[in-house]
Amino acid sequence: MEFLTVLLEAAAAAGFAGIGAGLAAIGAGIGVGLIGGHAMDAMARQPESAGDLRANMIVAAALVEGVALFAVIVCLLVVL
């Protein structure tokens, strides 16, 4: 546990927390974009399954956004 504390303090001192928060946000944007794009492609191929695809897309996008939110919060906690 002490090793993790030392690593977090070193990262905060070097300013890596802001970079980590930015990368988390960019990664989430790319991930949600890919989810939406592939879901639209699948809906175009099989319009009758659009409802199921839409529900699965929303769940997947929510999971990606949740992970990104946790990453940003951890990065902000490192700074504080």
C-alpha–C-alpha distance, residues 62 and 16, integer Å: 26
- Average pLDDT of span 1-30: 74
Overall pTM > 0.75: no
Out of 6-10, 17-21, 39-43, 45-49, which region has the weakest mean confidence (pLDDT)? Answer: 6-10
pLDDT single digits (tens) 25-45: 888 999 999 999 999 999 999
pLDDT grade for 13, boundaries at 50, 70 and 90: low
Is the Cβ–Cβ distance between 67 and 23 less than 8 Å?
A: no
Tokens for 27? 């990664």
What domains appear along the chain, each with residue ranges and CATH number? 2-79 (1.20.20.10)
Identify the DSSP state of 45.
H
